[in-house]
Amino acid sequence: MELWHIGNTTVRSPYRLRNALRVLDESNLLGNLVGRENESAFAMLLHNADVLQADRIVRGDDGDYSDLGRKWRSALGQLGFLTTHFTRADRLPNFPEPDPILAGYVEGMELTGRPYEITPNGRRLIGADSLPGQQECFLRSLVAYQIPSIIETRYHSQPFSPLRFVIKVFFVLAAAGEEARISFSEMALFVQTRTPDDGVETVVENISQYRRERNAPGVRTRQYDRTAYLNAVRALFPNQTNTESKINTFNDYADLTFRYLRATGLFSNRGRGIIIAPERYELARLIKDREFTVLPTREYLQNLWRGASLPSDETLSAIQIVRNLENLLRQKGQEVTTPENIEQLSIADISQVRYRYEELLRDLNEEEYAKEQTTLFDEIVLYLDVIIKNRPLVTLPNGEEFRIPKGETPAYLEWIIWRAFLAINELVNKPYEARRFQIDQDFLPVNTAPGGGPDLIFEFYNAVIVVEVTLTSSSRQEATEGEPVRRHIAEYAEKYEGIKDVYGLFIAINIDSNTANTFKYGDWYRKDDSKINLQIVPMSLQDFRNLFASGKGKTNFAHHLFDVILKCRVQANNDAPIWKKKINEQILRKVNELSIIKNCSSDGN
């Protein structure tokens, strides 16, 4: 038994690795990341680019941040996005001693042999603008990845592929008649404490027994789970006295492994667990069926740095994946026509068919997700509440708990406002047209919307609302948001001029009076000095939450939303502090009005 995990506990969001690579690539530290001074400089670069959040950098503590730089460097190296710096101390019984320099390891990869260069798979990740493209980079990495290795020497088992091991657990669960799902606790207790040396069947037997006993009549599940965790800690760490710390370690590792597995695109959330994503089932099966081979150190590193080949790189396997996607689309009522001569097409052309089908399937799934939001008003309000109160743990109406990842609240704020407008169910643009941030296969945000445009664009039958959101407060809010928000809204006002009215909605935890003052005057001048009148309303997140919550069960809620916006704009001739109060008052009036409508409806009047 051995407790293992994928990824790095410092970098919990895999998708941030791409931004870190881009920062490194544009710096003078590329291939020059050795030494405390350079490691600290790397940490500062990541902090300044909003990739890394560290309170002690904000405070300006002692100036030595080399440990942070090393951790991020290690995270990039673990998955093969950076080459590694080896010394003669890097040796394992199962692996030969590495060469003192890297030159022999980088043949044919356009690398110089310096330590901490960006690898071919790292370059592929930097260039991947789409989420599926990024996920393919993580998949190529984890197909190649093994533990222990010359990079990760702390493990003592025989080398194995964590990805293949997890995939096999799913298939053996299904073959045993169990639900092909791994819950969070099952990952922590049974999957990450075993290796192929213990046997996949043993893991599945343990999970099956756990499910039977836990779901038996009269069992208190929390107490049962507590005992299961204590038993696991004692089995792996018999001399450990601080059991709470180790229980936290089990959970931290499970959370981390779930995140990196999902970053491959092979897995989706199912409750507080994961399943193999239906659209990736065939690819997962093909990966499982490939025999795992322990490569010599040099070949292993070359494979990891290039990124492993995938079944989708081979003609017959690629066609099987296309056929699986075709079936899934037809099950959703979408007719597609696969080229009759697909067997004669090049792998590049087959891949284009696959990409088209995957994109179509993602769009259909997102449209279904958008429709579901009309039934999830209460859940959306809960997310708004935890962001307002800065409490990242959300207990959903079904009792499940979800924690907003540290450092990702800005992305989740954009995401929950998007969901709120989807729940209104009166948009004429598609859900994927209404957002500029990326979402993963579970419709969760991967990052915030990129610069150069608004966060969200909601088109209704008669008008458009351009939404900008921020967690920034105080006078810094006006400095960072004032000009970009007005410019972005002006672009849409010009685009829809003479077609539809365009309104701007600026949402923040608190609205600074200087920001409100900037938005009072809605004029924007084009390059030819002609003027566009902008209709912008700054609204606190609490006010938006109250207004949205009052719309539950209402038809034509968009009418009430536009009514509030117009009445708020009428009050814009007041000084900024007074205007903010007037906006709050208008929203309270609308909330009360909608409450009366609800009460009359419930009385049958």
Model confidence at 315: pLDDT above 90: yes
Cα 341 from Cα 343, distance rounded (Å):
5
Q: How many domains would you assign to the chain?
A: 2
Model confidence at 88: pLDDT above 90: no
Question: What percent of the chain has pLDDT above 90?
Answer: 71
Cα 119 from Cα 100, distance rounded (Å):
19
Residues 324 and 419 reside in one and the same domain: no
Q: Which of 369, 392, 416 is the last residue of a domain?
A: 369
91 confidence band (pLDDT: 50, 70, 90): very low
Is residue 598, in this structure, part of any structural domain at all? yes
Cα 420 from Cα 385, distance rounded (Å):
13
Is residue 177, in this structure, part of any structural domain at all? no
104 confidence band (pLDDT: 50, 70, 90): low
Task: Say which amino acid occupies 10.
Answer: T
Q: Which domain holds residue 326?
A: 314-369
Contact 283, 33 (CB under 8 A): no
Main-chain dihedrals φ then ψ at residue 394, nearest 5 degrees = -110, 125
pLDDT at 98 (0 to 100): 45
Model confidence at 605: pLDDT above 70: no
Q: Which residue is it, tokens 């109060």? A: 581
CB atoms within 10 A of CB 209: 11
Whichever domain contains 584, its CATH number is 3.40.91.50
Task: Say which amino acid occupies 243.
Answer: T
Cα 184 from Cα 535, distance rounded (Å):
47
Among 37-41, 51-55, 299-303, 419-423, which stretch is predicted with the lowest mean pLDDT? 51-55
Is residue 117, in this structure, part of any structural domain at all? no
Residues 358 and 396 reside in one and the same domain: no
Residues 383 and 346 reside in one and the same domain: no
| Average of per-residue pLDDT across 389-409 | 82
CB atoms within 10 A of CB 505: 26
Model confidence at 234: pLDDT above 50: yes
Residues 448 and 580 reside in one and the same domain: yes
Residues 385 and 326 reside in one and the same domain: no
β-strand pairing of 393-395 with 523-525? unpaired
Residues 423 and 346 reside in one and the same domain: no
CB atoms within 10 A of CB 121: 25
Task: Say which amino acid occupies 106.
Answer: V
Task: Say which amino acid occupies 7.
Answer: G
Residues 330 and 426 reside in one and the same domain: no
Main-chain dihedrals φ then ψ at residue 445, nearest 5 degrees = -70, 140
Contact 76, 21 (CB under 8 A): yes
Which tokens belong to 300? 């292993």
pLDDT at 102 (0 to 100): 53
Residues 320 and 443 reside in one and the same domain: no
Is residue 586, in this structure, part of any structural domain at all? yes
602 confidence band (pLDDT: 50, 70, 90): very low
Cα 193 from Cα 510, distance rounded (Å):
46
Q: Which of 334, 369, 404 is the last residue of a domain?
A: 369
Is residue 260, in this structure, part of any structural domain at all? no
pLDDT at 353 (0 to 100): 93
Q: Which residues pair with 298 in a beta bridge?
A: none
pLDDT at 391 (0 to 100): 85
95 confidence band (pLDDT: 50, 70, 90): very low
570 by Cβ neighbours in 10 Å (0-12 / 13-18 / 19+) ranks as exposed
93 confidence band (pLDDT: 50, 70, 90): very low
Question: What residues contact 515, with CB distance under 8 A and at least 6 apart?
Answer: 477, 478, 481, 482, 506, 508, 538
What count of Cα atoms within 13 Å lies in the side-chain half-sphere of residue 128?
A: 21
Mean residue pLDDT of the chain comes to 90
Residues 355 and 461 reside in one and the same domain: no
Contact 518, 486 (CB under 8 A): yes
pLDDT at 97 (0 to 100): 44
| Average of per-residue pLDDT across 3-9 | 91
521 confidence band (pLDDT: 50, 70, 90): confident
Q: Which residue has the higher pLDDT, 397 or 250?
A: 250
Cα 548 from Cα 568, distance rounded (Å):
16
581 by Cβ neighbours in 10 Å (0-12 / 13-18 / 19+) ranks as exposed
Cα 165 from Cα 176, distance rounded (Å):
16
34 by Cβ neighbours in 10 Å (0-12 / 13-18 / 19+) ranks as middle
Three-state secondary-structure class, residue 326: helix
Closest listed residue to residue 264, CA positions, set 314, 308, 330, 315: 308
Q: What is the 3-state secondary structure (H, E, C) of 95-151?
A: ECCCCCCCHHHCCCCCCCCCCCCECHHHHHHHHCCCHHHHHHHHHHHHHHCCECCCC
Residues 341 and 387 reside in one and the same domain: no
60 confidence band (pLDDT: 50, 70, 90): confident
Cα 360 from Cα 192, distance rounded (Å):
35
Question: What percent of the chain has pLDDT above 70?
Answer: 95
Is the backbone peptide bond immediately before 148 cis, with ω within 30 degrees of 0?
A: yes
Q: Which residue has the higher pLDDT, 394 or 165?
A: 165
What count of Cα atoms within 13 Å lies in the side-chain half-sphere of residue 73?
A: 28
Residues 496 and 555 reside in one and the same domain: yes
pTM of the model: 0.88
Contact 105, 301 (CB under 8 A): yes
Residues 400 and 418 reside in one and the same domain: yes
Sheet holding 267-269, edge to edge: 182-183, 273-276, 267-269
Is residue 258, in this structure, part of any structural domain at all? no
Q: Which residue has the higher pLDDT, 108 or 586?
A: 586
pLDDT in tens, 532-544: 999 999 999 999 9
Is residue 208, in this structure, part of any structural domain at all? no
Is residue 298, in this structure, part of any structural domain at all? no
Q: Which residues pair with 538 in a beta bridge?
A: 506
Q: Which of 341, 369, 397 is the last residue of a domain?
A: 369
